[in-house]
Amino acid sequence: MSLAAGIAPRLALAQIAVYDPANYAENVLHYVNQLTQIKYQIDQVKYQLQALTKLPSAPWRNVGQSLQTIGGVMGSAHSLGYAASGVGTTFHGYFPVTRPVTDWPAEQRSESQAAVNVFGAAVEATAEQQATVDPGRAAIQRMKQLNGTVNGHEQALELQNSAAVYSAEELMLLRQAVMAQTNIQAVYFASRVNEEAQRDEAARAALSLLATPQAAPPNVSLRVTP
């Protein structure tokens, strides 16, 4: 037998793989742990994305147009509405109190018309307020629905902000309603007080005129000469 023939079997035996069950099991466990960690990381990212998700449809409404319309109704030029330019000057012009009346029918008609105009504007403003009721009811109903399906802090914050904005809008509408009510009360009572005060002032002016001594008329001779 040659030397080469003797070496070949030894090389063949040296290439046989050795199977180690303990090492194999340890490697499998290591890979399983890595896969588990990756799954946890994926779940964490998924939860973070879910937490950042916006509401599918935020329960917003828009009362800006209604507020603007009410302001316009109560702000007609030269009227007694609270939003009118120079309303204080106009108010004192209609209700001077201490000035005697020179043309009672005309001034009374003018004051009555101004007061009725304010009452009419308040009615129109109330009608515009009514137009916001149905959208408000729908927004509240939507908030109730979303309250049971909120996922994550982002949606919770957005729903909370929606409720806060809704409350602020309601306060603005309520504020305008209170201003309109105060407006008509002020005009009504001012009209009543002014009517009595001017009547008394006119009576005092007439009495003062009657009590003023009149200058003696010059002597006039009625004698007729031929």
Q: Say whether 60 sits in a helix, a strand or coil.
A: coil
Per-residue b/e over 88-120, b at no fewer than 16 CB within 10 Å? eebeeebbeeeeebeeeeebeeebeebbebbee
Which tokens belong to 157?
């914050």
pLDDT on residue 45? 60
Q: How far apart are CA 190 and CA 109, in angstroms?
A: 15
The answer for residues whose C-beta is within 8 angstroms of residue 129's C-beta and 6 or more apart is: 66, 70, 173, 176, 177
All structural domains of the chain with their residue ranges: 64-205
Cβ(78)–Cβ(84) under 8 Å?
A: yes
Tell me the three-class secondary structure of 121-136, residue by residue: HHHHHHHHHHCCHHHH
The predicted structure's pLDDT at residue 37: 78
Q: What pLDDT score was predicted for residue 24?
A: 72
Query: DSSP letters along 179-215, please?
Result: HHHHHHHHHHHHHHHHHHHHHHHHHHHHHHHHHSPPP
> What one-character DSSP code corresponds to residue 56?
S
Measured distance CA(20)–CA(26) in Å, rounded: 10
Q: What pLDDT, on the 0 to 100 scale, is given for residue 51?
A: 55
Q: pLDDT tens digits for the chain (226 residues)?
A: 454 555 555 555 555 555 567 777 777 777 777 777 777 666 666 656 555 566 777 788 888 899 999 999 999 998 999 999 999 999 999 999 888 888 888 988 999 999 999 999 999 999 999 999 999 999 999 988 888 888 777 888 888 888 999 999 999 999 999 999 999 999 999 999 998 898 888 888 888 878 777 776 777 666 666 5
Q: pLDDT value at position 48?
A: 60
H/E element, 18:
none
